[in-house]
């Protein structure tokens, strides 16, 4: 169907959405698509996705764009409640944030607030301890920068010139063992501990949020995904599909379909963000200035 969201045009088919922001010279401009599927085994979908788009060119500079994906932890009660609560908390907090605040400062604060909400909601539902948990990955864009925050094993990748660069690291037992030199990367990929989270939202009142900041260029594609995708489809295969993408809706559907063919035992969610143009800026005492 065709409709509007916060002043932007978008198309939606089922749980697939694509949006185009207004094209203006010398401004960050992006298009995106998202798709979520329950997979071939599970009866319901515990993943949840969301986004905030700027309403005006001025808001594009003061606030920017936000994309968020969460994967409710399997084996916990009401994982779908946890993922939805986390995403909606981030979206709401981003919309209320002061204009011009650094995304590198804002995102971890918003993720921490989402963690508190999930933790307290879980306690209210189960007096003996936390009853729900979720992963989360968020990407905020403004000017020519992308800030990324994550907890758990939902990932963000940057695709540039046909190559994939992971912008997050998994918070799993197996991943920690690789960093400690206990396992090789190949051994970790086959380890039963590769799905055991070492961090997630909702397990404790406070959580360690990992953040990073990256420069983006016109033509870059950012991908946020749950482990239902990256556990079934190697980054090289994702890069092959994305490098030839002309239609982001079709590419999001192709990625999910490929994950279902190769595995499909988990929920699969994807957000694709293509950078169409950027606004080059420098920073002086925390304030942006345009580069000529």
Are residues 255 and 233 in contact, defined by beta-carbon separation less than 8 angstroms? yes
Q: What is the DSSP string of 109-148?
A: HHHHHHHHHHHHHHHHH-TTS----B-EEEEEEETTEEEE
Q: What percent of the chain is predicted at pLDDT more than 70?
A: 84
Is it the case that residue 131 has pLDDT exceeding 60?
A: yes
Is it the case that residue 276 has pLDDT exceeding 80?
A: yes
Specify the pLDDT at position 287: 65
Is it the case that residue 98 has pLDDT exceeding 80?
A: yes
Is it the case that residue 3 has pLDDT exceeding 70?
A: no
Are residues 169 and 182 in contact, defined by beta-carbon separation less than 8 angstroms? no
Share the mean pLDDT of the chain.
87
| Highest mean pLDDT of the ranges 22-36, 176-190, 230-244 | 230-244
- Token pair for residue 157? 């990748």
Identify the band that residue 186 occupies on the pLDDT scale cut at 50, 70 and 90: confident
Which of these ranges, 66-75, 90-99, 190-199, has the smallest mean pLDDT? Answer: 190-199
Specify the pLDDT at position 282: 74
Torsional class of 72: left (φ above 0), alpha (ψ -120 to 50), beta (otherwise): beta
**Exposure string for 14-38, b = 16+ CB within 10 A, e = fewer:** ebbbbbbbeeeeebbbbbbbbbbbb
Is it the case that residue 22 has pLDDT exceeding 60?
A: no
Please give the torsion angle defined by the CA atoms of residues 110, 4, 248 and 15, in that order, rounded to the nearest 10 degrees.
Answer: 70
Specify the pLDDT at position 271: 98
Which of these ranges, 63-72, 141-150, 189-198, has the smallest mean pLDDT? Answer: 189-198
Identify the band that residue 76 occupies on the pLDDT scale cut at 50, 70 and 90: low
Q: What is the bridge-based pairing of β-strands 136-142 and 145-151?
A: antiparallel
The residues facing 271 across adjacent strands are: 34, 224
Specify the pLDDT at position 1: 23
Rounded Cα–Cα distance for residues 252 and 249 (Å) = 5
Specify the pLDDT at position 15: 43
Residues 42-56 have pLDDT tens digits of 889 999 999 999 999
The residues facing 287 across adjacent strands are: 284
CA distances from 195 to 11, 17, 27, 232, 256 (A): 34, 28, 40, 13, 19
Is it the case that residue 100 has pLDDT exceeding 80?
A: yes
Beta strands across the sheet bearing 155-160: 2-5, 8-13, 16-20, 29-37, 268-277, 221-225, 155-160, 163-166
Rounded Cα–Cα distance for residues 203 and 211 (Å) = 19
Average of per-residue pLDDT across 59-73: 96
The residues facing 187 across adjacent strands are: none
Specify the pLDDT at position 175: 72
Tell which wins on pLDDT, 191 or 9. 191
Which of these ranges, 31-40, 54-63, 100-109, 191-200, has the smallest mean pLDDT? Answer: 191-200
């Amino acid at each position: 169907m065709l409709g509007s969201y916060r002043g932007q045009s978008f198309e939606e088919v089922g749980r697939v959405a694509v949006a185009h922001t207004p094209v203006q010279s010398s401004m960050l401009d992006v298009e995106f698509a998202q798709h979520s599927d329950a997979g071939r085994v599970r009866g319901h979908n515990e993943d949840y996705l969301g986004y905030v788009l700027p309403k005006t060119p001025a808001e594009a500079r003061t606030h920017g764009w936000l994309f968020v994906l969460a994967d409710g932890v399997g084996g916990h009660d009401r994982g779908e409640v946890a993922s939805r609560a986390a995403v909606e908390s981030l979206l709401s907090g981003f919309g209320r944030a002061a204009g011009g605040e650094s995304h590198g400062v804002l995102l971890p604060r918003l993720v921490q607030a989402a963690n508190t909400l999930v933790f307290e909601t879980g306690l209210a539902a189960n007096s003996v301890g936390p009853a729900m948990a979720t992963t989360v990955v968020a990407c905020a864009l403004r000017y020519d920068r992308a800030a990324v925050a994550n907890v758990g094993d939902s990932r963000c990748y940057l695709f540039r010139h046909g190559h994939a660069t992971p912008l997050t690291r998994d918070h799993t037992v197996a991943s920690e063992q690789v960093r400690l030199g206990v396992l090789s990367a190949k051994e970790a990929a086959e380890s039963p501990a590769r799905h055991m989270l070492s961090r997630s939202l909702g397990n404790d009142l406070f959580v360690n949020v990992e953040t990073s900041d990256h420069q983006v260029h016109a033509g870059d594609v950012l991908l946020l995904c749950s482990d239902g995708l990256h556990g079934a489809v190697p980054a090289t295969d994702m890069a092959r599909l994305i490098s030839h993408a002309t239609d982001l809706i079709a590419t999001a559907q192709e990625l999910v379909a490929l994950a279902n063919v190769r595995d499909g035992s988990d929920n699969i969610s994807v957000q694709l963000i293509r950078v169409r143009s950027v606004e080059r800026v420098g920073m002086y005492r925390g304030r942006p200035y345009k580069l000529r």
